[in-house]
Structures are given as structure tokens and as C-alpha cells.
Amino acid sequence: MSSKTLYDKVWDLHQVSQLPGGSTQLFIGLHLIHEVTSPQAFSALSEKNLAVLSPERTFGTVDHIVPTLNQNRPFADPLAEEMLSTLEKNCSTYGIPFFGIGSGKQGIVHVIAPELGLTQPGMTVACGDSHTSTHGAFGAIAFGIGTSQVRDVLASQTLAINKLKVRRIFVKGQLRKGVYAKDLILHIIRKLGVKAGNGFAYEFSGPAIESLPMEGRMTLCNMAIEGGARCGYVNPDQVTFDYLKGRMHAPKGKDWERAIAWWKTLSSNENAIFDDEISFDANDIVPTVTWGITPGQSIAINESLPQSTTFEVKDRPITEEAYSYMKIEPGGKIEGLKIDVCFIGSCTNGRLSDLREAASVAKGNHVADGIKAFVVPGSEKVALEAEEEGLDKIFLEAGFEWREPGCSMCLAMNPDRLEGDQISASSSNRNFKGRQGSASGRTLLMSPAMVAAAAITGKVSDVRHFLKDDSNS
Amino acid sequence: MIRPITPFPTGAIKQIEGKSIVLTGNDIDTDRIIPARFLKCVSFDLLGEQVFADDRKELKGEHPFDLPINQDASILVVNENFGCGSSREHAPQALMRWGIRAIIGKSFAEIFFGNCLALGIPCIKASEKIIESLQQSITSNPGDFIRINLEELSISDSSIKYNVLMDPGPLEMLKSGAWDATSQLINKRSEILEVMKNLPYLNNFKY
Ligand code: SF4
């Protein structure tokens, strides 16, 4: 059993009681809600005649269903409009702060909470969305919950939950040029598999992790869930503190000094005990691309597509299913595979640094003929900052579309979607069958810089050929 | 097709009986159980009809959830890592509203497991061998009746009884009826306030 890890320390601080069933009642420090998984929770509250215990500890925004071309109200899609107005009404009824379109604070829930300074080290963070693991980048215990649990957090600011085991994923070395946090996490998931994390929280540590900026750490923790781990986290350090300083909800004045002192006590101790430990070498990792229908089905850009016989017997059926769905053959190269659509955005890679990296590839180049390429900033703040730097112009000049913030084609609950069996290069996190809005649509996951490179050549390409020696430092 | 309405789970859950239905394949994700376009709703009411919508369309009536023999099935037998992917409770809601009352499989994704538990739907683990033999026997004897006994952690079909697994916490919650956690949680008000008093980030970072 783990001890003295950050996970253990934060868990202990938030324990309210032991429930008769054996699970723990855990206090939730930050609760985030959005339009898709909250309406039924609010209905359940009113059916049971319950109040919201701590409305000031819940924050709402709208992201999944918002259109990215025209955000004027009412939305063209009446169902989307109904979902947003239901959320607005629920937030106002219960006194929950809500960041709506045009507030300057709207965006994908996992992008806005960090940028507003809401997500802080040592907190427990819950949201009705599996990519809540993102917030672990700050040294928080952050995890996705279902709608019944959203109801429970609203009613009691607590949850009934079981403690996870902790696996340390130690990454030595340094990522090379053209290799990003996205490649690192795709590589880890490929090696460990999509179910290895079931029952575990992943602690990411080691020199390669310490060198990652906050946004890279968020990309990494975001996809912990794709490896089966409900939580991923990074121990807080100076990089974390520098990111938080001065943000709207970050502690100020004397509180700030005390906060840092406390946050420093949270990291896993040197003699912490983990339930499991695995190590990787960042130097070994090259740009990585998924070719199949799970985030674990990926290869390095310069590898050949694996034969089904190279997998364990139990993994062969899904390998064959993937080849047949993706309409590609083992043995060939992924590099050079023609694509139709390029999507840069999502809570995995829709932050400012992601857009900068993609723009540095796009700059001075042009999207290939017949390719639809679009950039969806993760939040209004990301959009504004990108526009201040002129990134929008770089993209527009290169033939990309520049859209309004939202989840967009990550899961295609808005009008942005693949058609037929179109194949996309996407900076998002899931390549499940049908994920991007067409039941036969195909998704290749990769870093935003790789998506930009694919847009320019019209094919899966190695971004390292695009990077000049002085870039991506 | 109009499906018979069976009551949703309530109270202590110790035994479940019903017709079985098999769905083979590892890593069946929640996007497949309920595609994202059906999440555009403010209530769960209609989800039962939409469960596995895309897979069913692709199989043109041959999907297990469309076969006439399976129409009143309530015990689903799956393989490994069932329910991976998103946290959408719409997935277990869709299964429950279609008629599923228990799921037996080699393993389940964590959030999916918890979402099912919160609805009173046990996700029961069994070894690969048991799953295989169960799936085989149901396939050769479609709609076979299965009896789940949570008290002794066993399942039995018409011919054999197997031992199965469930973590003690969730098992106890189901057996005692405490799987619907809300009332237990709100009853702990003073303990909740006590924790809040001691959390540095709620108290000017004094620790
Ligand atoms: S961007 Fe994608 S993964 Fe992230 S919250 Fe939105 S839909 Fe979910």
C-alpha cells in the first residue's frame, strides 16, 4: 500500500468519514460543471428537494455543445440551446458562478480552471468529465465522475469513493526537439496499454517531467485516463508556482507566501512507497501517431504498422478490428498516409503553447489542396492571447480556419464533424470509432505541431523536418 | 419495438435473475455504448432506445441488442475493460433503460464501474475461463437464464455454478442498499464542516 506520496497526503486531508460500504467519504475542494453531465444531476436535486451545500466551490462553463463558427444566441441547434439555457438557469438558481460565452472566461472546463487559478496544488478536483485528470498537473487529486456523483458533490461537497493504488511513472532523460508531452503520453499508453491504469493513480516524475512547462504537464495528466488511470499527477514545484502567481483565483499577498510553503510539503517524500514503479527514457521517444481505434494503438512516425501476430493473442481481435475500421494494412508506413481533415484544439492540446508550436510549423507554409484544417482555441483567454501574438494571422495566412473556443471536433457534439470515412489528424485525445461525429470517421491522434505538418503536406508527416535548428528550444 | 418496463433498482441488492445476453470484445468504450450525439439531452429518459446505436446500425439487425431472443434480457456478459473512455453516466443509464440489471465481465473501466454502482447495477468480475465458458454456453443456448447471488458471490446458469469476484466495498454497498450514497453523505454535515475548517486552502493557507 502506498504511503507518503502526494496522493496519500492529499487523500488524508480530505477524508470526511468511512462509509458502511467500506468506501471513503472524500471532500471535494473544486467542483467543475458543464452542460452535458450536469442537467440530470440538478433534476435529481430538485426531485429530492436538496440544496447545494457550497455553491461557491462549484464553477460552471459551457464547452461541449458550443458552435465554433457563430456563437450568437439562440444557437442554431435547439438542443444545444436548451442545454446551455438549462445550465444557465441551474447556476443562477443555486448561486453557482458561471462563465458564459463572451465573459472572457469561457472555454473548455479543463482549460479555464487552471488559467483562472482555480486549480491549485493539494486540492481534490472533480468534474463530470473523464479528462478531469488534467488538473493533476498542479499536484491535485483530480478525477472524472458520473452524473449521480455530480449530484452528490452538489448536495454534500463530498463523494463516496475508494482509494486508488499509486504507480510512479519515472521518466528520465529529456524530450528531443519535435517531441512533445503528447508524444510522451502516447508512448506511455502504447507501452503500458489502455487498461494498465485501472485501479491506479499515476504519479509522473523524473527529470523529463520536471522540465515540462505546466501546459505540457496538463497534456500528460489529461491523457492518464486514456491509459486507464482515473488520476494522473505531477508533484508541484517552482514551475507550478510561477504559473499560478497572479492568476485571478490564486492566493494573494501573505496568503501567497503561506500557500507556497504548504504546497512544498505536498510532494511525495523521498522515502514514499508506491504500489508500483515503471520507468521510461525520454530520449527514446520520437513523434508518435495513433493508427487504430484506441489511444494505445500508436507507433513512432518512422515505424511500420505492426502485424497483428506481433501482439499477444488476446489483443489480436481488437488489432484486426482496428485495421478493418481504419482501412489500412499492416506492414506499411504511417508516414505519408493521406488525410482529409486537420483539427487543432481540445483540452489536451488547445492551449497557447500548443497553438504556438503549431503556428511555428504553419508559418510561411500553406495547407495542402483539398485539406480542411481548423484551429479551435481552448478558451476565450487562449484565443485572446493568441490573437495578441498574431497567431490567428499566421494560421489564416497559411489557410487554416480560426474558430471560436469550445470542444469542437474532439467529440463532435457541435456542428464540427467528420463526414463519411474521412480521416483526421487531430490534437485531441480519443480515436474511438465514431468519436468525431461520423460512424465511419477515422482519427489519427498526434501532437498539434504534427497536425500542422500534416495539414501542410496533406499526409501524416514527421514534424522534425519542419523545425529549424533554432526553433522549439 | 416497445420494450417491457422493468423497475429500476432500489434498496438492498442481493440476488438478480434474468435472461442473459452476450456482447463479445475487449475495450468496448462508452462512445460505442452511447454515441456522443445522443448526449444532447437534459434528461436520461430516451437513452434506452439509443444504446449501441452505431454498432447496431452497422450490423443491420444482427447486433445482440437487436436479436428478438434477447429482447427481455437483463444480464449482460462482456469481456475485458468494458466501459472505458468517457465518464458519461449516459452509458450505464442507456444500458439500464434498455433493461440491463447486472453486468458480468473480466474487467471494467473504473468510472463506468462507479457509475453503474451509483445506479444499483452490479459489475461482477469473473476469470477469463469462466467468461469464455459462460459466453459459449449462452451462445449455444441463447437467452439462457442466469442467477446472480451476491451473498455467496456466485452465478449459475442452467447447468453450472461459478464463483465470481467483487471488491468488498462496492459489494457491501449493494447488499446493504447503501449504493445510493446521497443521504449518507449529507448526514455527515458536521464532519464535512470539520474537514473544511482544517483545509489550508479554505483557511488562508494556515496549516
Ligand atoms: S475537449 Fe474533448 S476530451 Fe476535452 S472536455 Fe471537451 S470533449 Fe472532453
Determine the distance separating the centroid of ligand 1 and the alpha carbon of A298, expressed in angstroms.
20
Pairwise CA distance, residues A409 & A92, whole Å: 29
Q: Which residue has the cell 458480468?
A: B104
Q: Which of A18, A24, A40, A134 is the best substitution to test chain B (most B C-beta atoms within 10 A)?
A: A40
Phi then psi dihedrals of residue B195, to 5 deg: -60, -40
Residue holding cell 439487425? B61
Measured between CA atoms, how close is B114 to chain A, in angstroms? 8
ipTM of model? 0.94
**H-helix segments, A116-177:** 147-156
Inter-residue contact A193 to A222 (CB < 8 Å): no
Tens digit of each residue's pLDDT (9 = 90 or more) over A90-131: 999 999 999 999 999 999 999 999 999 999 999 999 999 999
Q: Measure the CA–CA gap between A209 and A196, rounded to whole angstroms.
A: 20
Query: Which residue has the CA at smallest separation from atom 4 of ligand 1?
Result: A347
**Interchain contact, B110 vs A198, CB within 8 Å:** yes
Helices assigned H by DSSP within B53-109: 53-59, 90-98
List ligand 1's pocket residues with C-beta within 6 A.
A 63-64, 108, 110, 129, 131, 346-347, 407, 410-411, 428-429
B185–A435: do the CB atoms touch at under 8 Å?
A: no
Q: DSSP label at A104? A: S
Q: Which of A8, A25, A251, A264 is nearest to A119 (CA)?
A: A251
Higher per-residue pLDDT: A422 or B6: A422
pLDDT at A269 (0 to 100): 98
Q: Check: CB of residue B78 under 8 Å from CB of residue B104.
A: yes
The reported pLDDT for the residue numbered A472 is 45
Looking at the partner chain, which of A19, A146, A412 has a beta carbon nearest the beta carbon of B89?
Answer: A146
Q: Cβ of A39: how many Cβ atoms within 10 Å?
A: 22
Looking at beta carbons, which residues of chain A come within 8 Å of B170? 21, 23, 162
**Cell, residue B3:** 420494450
Residue A362 DSSP code: H
Listed residue (A58, A282, A236) closest to A155, CA to CA: A58
Which of the residues B30, B52, B79, B110 would you substitute to probe the A interface, choosing the one with the greatest number of A C-beta atoms within 10 Å?
B110
**CA-CA distances (angstroms) from residue A186 to A312, A314, A330, B99, B189?**
20, 21, 20, 37, 43
Q: Chain A: give the shortest CA distance to residue B72, in Å.
A: 26
B158 pLDDT band, cuts 50/70/90, is confident
- What secondary structure does DSSP assign to B28-67, as a single string? -BHHHHS-GGGG--SSSTTHHHHTTHHHHHHHTT-STTTS
Q: What is the pLDDT of residues A237-251, one digit of tens each?
A: 999 999 999 999 999
Which domains does chain A possess?
Answer: 6-277 (3.30.499.10), 287-466 (3.30.499.10)
Per-residue pLDDT at A421 exceeds 50: yes
Q: Quick check: A130 contacting B, CB < 8 Å?
A: yes
The dotted CATH code for B15-176 is: 3.20.19.10
CB atoms A411 and B36 under 8 Å? yes
Residues in chain B, overall count = 207
Taking CA atoms, B124 is separated from A21, B149, B175, in Å, by 16, 11, 13
Residue of B nearest to A224 (CA): B85
Atom of ligand 1 nearest to the CA of A429: 3
pLDDT in tens, A33-80: 999 999 999 999 998 889 999 999 999 999 999 999 999 999 999 999
Residues A456/A367, Cβ–Cβ less than 8 Å = yes
Would you state the pLDDT for residue B49? Answer: 94
> Rounded CA gap, A51 and A60, in Å?
17
Instruction: Determine the Cα–Cα distance for residues A435 and A415; give it in Å rounded to an integer.
Output: 13
